[in-house]
């Protein structure tokens, strides 16, 4: 609830303040121009801003201060809108198994964005993937799946990040698992190709033999 006051300042500054309230670029919600009143909280912000530079409460200085506050408020509104959009994006990207209504998860999200104010929704999703053990899921506790992470991105930068989080031994074990599966897959593919090649060669030889027999007198 706004509380309006008539600022009490000393000397010639009183007339400057009264002129500012009546004519200055103050948002209409913060003044009652006909009565010479200004919102107390807004006036306090102006006083603090002037005090930072030890400026007197002249009309010009108050105008400059009010314009600075106007830009601060606009920047704050933009940041609020950005955060709302980020949270909407997070909702859209969350795995259905993630318990988004859980208080522990809500606090975890708040802590994450407090530590990284400019983080994006994808940054938060990446944190969930990196540290699933820190969050609650409907299906129960989850442990980090380093193999799946490396399947998604096995670049040197990504591997270095995983080493920093989980340690060299864990990342090496996951990488060895991938390479072993890859090698097994190659061997199976080669064996299949050899079998298919032998079968095709056998079929061709059989057709050739049949042709020779039919051509005999």
Strand 31-32 vs strand 4-5: parallel, antiparallel, or unpaired?
Answer: unpaired
Q: Mean of the pLDDT values across residues 14-33?
A: 93
Is the full-model pTM beyond 0.75? Answer: no
Burial zone of 29 (CB within 10 Å; 0-12 exposed, 13-18 middle, 19+ buried): exposed
Q: What are residue 32's DSSP bridge partners?
A: 37
Instruction: Spell out the SS3 assignment of 130-179.
Output: HCHHHCCECCCCCCCCHHHHHHHCCCHHHHHHHHHHHCHHHHHHHHHHHH
For 52-79, the pLDDT digits (tens) are 989 999 999 999 999 999 999 999 999 9
Q: Which residue has the higher pLDDT, 24 or 153?
A: 24
For 91-146, the pLDDT digits (tens) are 999 999 999 999 999 999 999 999 999 999 999 998 998 899 999 999 998 888 88
CB 37 within 8 A of CB 31: yes
């Amino acid at each position: 609830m706004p509380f309006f006051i008539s600022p009490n300042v000393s000397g010639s500054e009183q007339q400057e303040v009264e002129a500012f309230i009546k004519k200055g670029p103050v948002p209409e919600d913060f003044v009652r121009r006909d009565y010479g009143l200004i919102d107390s909280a807004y006036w306090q912000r102006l006083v603090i801003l002037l005090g930072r530079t030890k400026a007197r409460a002249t009309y010009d200085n108050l105008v400059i201060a009010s314009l600075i506050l106007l830009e601060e408020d606009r920047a704050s509104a933009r940041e609020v809108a950005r955060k709302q959009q980020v949270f909407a994006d997070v909702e859209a990207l969350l795995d259905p198994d993630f318990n988004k209504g859980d208080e522990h998860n809500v606090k975890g999200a708040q802590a994450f964005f407090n530590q990284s104010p400019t983080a994006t929704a994808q940054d938060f999703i990446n944190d969930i993937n990196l540290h699933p053990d820190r969050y609650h899921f409907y299906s129960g506790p989850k442990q980090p799946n380093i193999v799946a992470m490396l399947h998604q991105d096995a670049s040197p930068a990504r591997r270095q990040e995983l080493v920093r989080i989980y340690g060299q031994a864990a990342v090496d074990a996951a990488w060895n698992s991938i390479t072993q599966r890859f090698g097994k897959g190659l061997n199976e593919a080669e064996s299949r190709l050899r079998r298919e090649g032998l079968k095709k060669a056998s079929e061709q030889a059989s057709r050739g033999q049949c042709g020779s027999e039919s051509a005999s007198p």
